[in-house]
Structures are given as structure tokens and as C-alpha cells.
Amino acid sequence: MNLEPLDEARTARVMFLDYHRPAMPPGLYTMDVQQDVSGPRIAADSFPTQWQFTVAGDRFTLRPSDVYAVFPPDGSLGDHSDVLPHAVLTRSTMPWEYRADGASAPWLAVLLFTEDEQRTQAYREPAITTLGQLIPATSAPQWPGLDLDPAEHQDSDKVTVLDVQQRLLATLLPSAAEVSLLTHVRRAEDTDGNLIDDERSVVLGRRLPRSGGISVVHLVSVESRYHDGSFDFGTAAPDDYIRLISLKSWRFACADPAGDFTGLLTGLDRTPAALRLPPAEDPEAERHLAAGSVPLPHHLRPGRSTVSWYRGPLIPCDPPDELDLPVQSSAELIRYDPTLGLFDASYATAWELGRLLALRSQQLSASLYAWKRANAQAVRSAEANLLHPAWAPPDPVAALPPDVAAWFGDLRLLRGVPLRYLVPDERLLPPESIRFVRVDPVWADCLLDGAFSLGRLTGRLKPVDREQKSTLVDAVPAHPVVSGFLLRSSLVSGWPGLLVDGYDTGPGGQIRGVETLRRDLVAPDVLLCLFAGDVVRVEIHQRPEALHFGPAELPGDWRGADGVVDLDALVGALRTGPAFTSADFAARTVEGVPRVTFVRS
């Protein structure tokens, strides 16, 4: 079997970097500018000026987009008891934008708590407060106070705080040197050393989850909380609470080994393999169901209601014959089945949807209308030139604007089509399932024809409209066959950035890689992948930089009774030279990226 993968990530390599400090750390900056003027008839003079500006980061809250991923995923039920929890941050400089101490230790840490510790009040539920309430120092809970720049923050800004007993926090928190060891940057490159994805920073925890239990993880700020290499607990007693700022939290359970990446994929519902409802006893009804149709309520224009067949663009079978397009209205595309006495509104719905999507985009509708009017005027000028050859020749017909061609190219790949039009009945795609599909080119043609109907020419200019439609077809070519799959699973939301490789069968039965046309989330837990070809096999895997850290198989006595990793012992077992950095630690504790293959039946 000869595989020819096209996805560059298949041959990528991951680089681990110790740090990525920002070029301009947050703070107040002063810029001094002076212009010196002199000349033969001008007295020498200087004009100095000074300008102050502030560089600020996210100290107290993070936007959802700031956190690229967390692991184990929020709400996961898989057995992750051998994996260090970690947060992957979108900005590669974020952990080094502030400092935990006066040196260079990052200001972020990942803390894992068990459900027992919450039950015994070893830590309290997170609470919402304001920055103004955090300005003064307090002893119960212990908090060192804040210095706020009014230009950056307001006293009324909300912030999440977490109170943890001193004896527990002393066990969980790493030293300043260990904070640096647990923070690194991932960089994914192709074989030529070119960056193939954004650099991202990673903050690791130092405690392993408990098997069979529920864990809660917090990404906390330890900005300026370390002195002389250790966290400053002040005068707090073991039972006293220490206040921290929580920037991100998530929870998961180590309950089911089948709930990890490989288990979720191998446990997917694959029956039926196609996007269709269960078979019906009636042969005529089964003919429609086998084609992917579902019966849906249909409100007719006269005001009456009925039930009609509807099928989306993702079908389980070979596409039907072509239709004669363009049409003047969607009514021309409604079909009637006299055997069952039901209409089929599939193509009429596609046409109306295309028209509505085009109308919703003001820029597209304006550009398309202007182009059509300009072409119509050019035709009229050409006709006049035939009657009066001495006149100046007409302007050449304008090409389809690039933005219009790009919009229709996206539409042909069903971008912008709502999920309910793709999957009209939830039974077609139940939770934790995968379904192979083919794109109905006739449905897509009706979709594009409806969108292209804006400003459609009629009467004696109707042939011009057909020529304009031909221009669109030439500018937005269709692939002979487009196929793919729909995946609905908690895996989609829990493991962002999934990669998929598709393969079809070439001459002589050779398995070959095909181009990925589209790989998008159409819902938080639904992934749609389309390929240029008749896909018979797909491989789903994570990005090379989406690696996880599991030291379970590593040598040494480094695991504590409460799951806290003895980093000194672990580093001693891993060290092969005098220097051992965070990049070395990441590279030695990383786990491989699993790959699961599905074959279309």
C-alpha cells in the first residue's frame, strides 16, 4: 500500500523552546525626542519633547481566545491519571510578560485539586470580586495587595480569586526554578524549518490526577509572589488561607479509559456509515431515505401546511442527474412524488438559501449587481455599435470581481450553510458518531444559482444572463467529486485543531492522498471535512504540537503519595548533561500523538 499524504503536518517537527520573552515587557515607557535646528541665517535652537506610554498585558483576566487548549479537556471522562495537566496559551510570550520574582521566573502556574480537598475545605470555591477590593493587603485570607495603574485597570474590574490553605498550597506550588522548568514554547516546523503554525506557550502542572476521581485545575497568577526562590507565605499558619487570582479553570474525571483521544475515536458509532435514517419497510419511502431524505413540515405559500421530503447537500449515495439551470424562482425546482403524494423541496430550499445568503452580504450583493449591470450595458453598447460601426468600440466585458468569485468559491464548499440545512434531523448524526458523505453537486449548483439570481436579467437580455452564469462557472470551477465525513463528538471540542488526512483509490487500486478542501467546525462538537475525490479512508490525529506530557513510564522514584511530582527526582532521572532546561524537560516527558484510521464501508 503506497500512501502519499498531502498534509504538511505529517512531516512536521516540533521544537521546544525554553522561553519567549516579549521585546517590550509591560510597564511605563518614556520617549524623549529632540529636533535640533540650525542654518546660515537661523539661530541654532533645540525643540525637545517627551512622550509617555504604557505597555500592558492581561494580568487579572484572560479572554477565551487567549487559551488555545487545556488538557485534559474540560469535562473529559477519560483516564488521564498519567498525564500532567497543562494549559496551551495562544500568545507565546504570555508566561514571561510578568514575573513571579525579581529575576525571570514566569508568573503563571497550574494547580490541580481533588474533590476531597474541596469537600474538606482545603480550598474554597472560586469567588468573583473587584480589583478595588484587592488593592489593600489582608491577613485573612493572606493577600499582599495590588498596585494598579488607572490607565490600565479600573477599581470596578471583575476578577476571580481562589483561597487555598497554606499547607496544601505549599505542597502544590513549585519553586521559582521549577516554575521556569514547567513553562516552555512549542514551535511546529516543516522539514525545511518553516513555521507551519503559530508559536504557543505551555504551562504544566506538577501533580498527576487521581485515577477514578474528579479533578479541578486552575491556571493562577503568581506575579511578584516569590522571594528568594520560594513562594512568600508571610506569617500564614498551615490552616490559614492564601489568596490567588485564578485566570482559567476546568474540571475533568479520570473515570473511563475509553474517554481519551483514541478511545473516543474507536468508540464512535459507525452504523450506518452513511448519513441516512433507519430503513423503512415501504419500498418507495426507503428509496427516499436511502438517498438521505427526511420528511419535514412544509409551509406552502397559500398558507397550508404539509409534509415534504428534504435532503441536504451531504448525501450517502451517488449524486443524481444534473438540472437545467438557471431558473427564475425556486418553485421551478420543487418535485412531486405521485406514489407517496409528497413534494421534494430539497433543491428549491437550496436555491432559496443561496438567495438569502447573498442578500445577507451587502458587499457581495452590491458587487454582484454592479458587475451584472456593467455587463448588460456593455452588451447594449455592442448592439449599438453594430448599427453604427463608426462609433467608438464598446468597453470590454468586465471579469467577475475577485471578491465575488471568492465568495461563490466558499459557497460551493458549503461555507455559510447553517448546520440545520446540512443535517436536517438529529437522528442522522447522533452524539459520538461519524458519517461518510458525498456532496451533491446539483444541490450546490442550485445554491449558487439562487445566490447568483440577484439582479438576474430577463426578457431579451436573458441570453446575457446565461453568459454571465457561464462566467461564474468558469471562475468558480467545481471538483468532479467532493466527499468527506461529519464527526460529532466531545473529541471535537476537547481536542481543538484536529488534523485529518484523506485517501482515495487511484489507478490499479493504489491508495493515494487527496487534497483537503475544507476542515471546519459547523457546531462546537461537529467537524465537517471535505476532500477533492472519492475518499475511502481517513486518518484522524492531533497536530504535532498538540503533545501531552506523561512521565508515568519514566524511571525514578518521583511520584508522591498525593500525585505531586518530585521534580528534583524526576529531573535527576532525566538529566544527561550539566544543563537541563524547560525545553529538555518537555522533550523528555512528551507523549506521542495517536492516529486512528477509518475505512468507508
Q: Which helix (H) or strand (E) holds 404?
A: helix 402-412
> So what's the pLDDT on residue 386?
54
Distance CA 265, CA 432 (A): 8
Distance CA 219, CA 245 (A): 9
Question: Among 332, 247, 314, 248, which Cα is nearest to 275's?
Answer: 314
Cβ–Cβ < 8 Å for 419, 523: yes
Distance CA 338, CA 343 (A): 9
DSSP-assigned letters across all residues of 423-486: SSSGGGS-SSEEEEEEE-HHHHHHHHHHHHTTT---GGGHHHHHHHHHHHHHHSPPPS-EEEEE
Distance CA 365, CA 452 (A): 9
> So what's the pLDDT on residue 387?
53
> So what's the pLDDT on residue 385?
55
> So what's the pLDDT on residue 153?
85
> So what's the pLDDT on residue 25?
86
Distance CA 182, CA 86 (A): 9
Side chain identity at residue 111, one-letter code: L
Q: How far is CA 338 from CA 186, 308, 344, 345, in A?
A: 62, 12, 11, 14
> So what's the pLDDT on residue 6?
37
With a cut of 50, which residues of the chain have pLDDT below it? 1-11, 392, 394
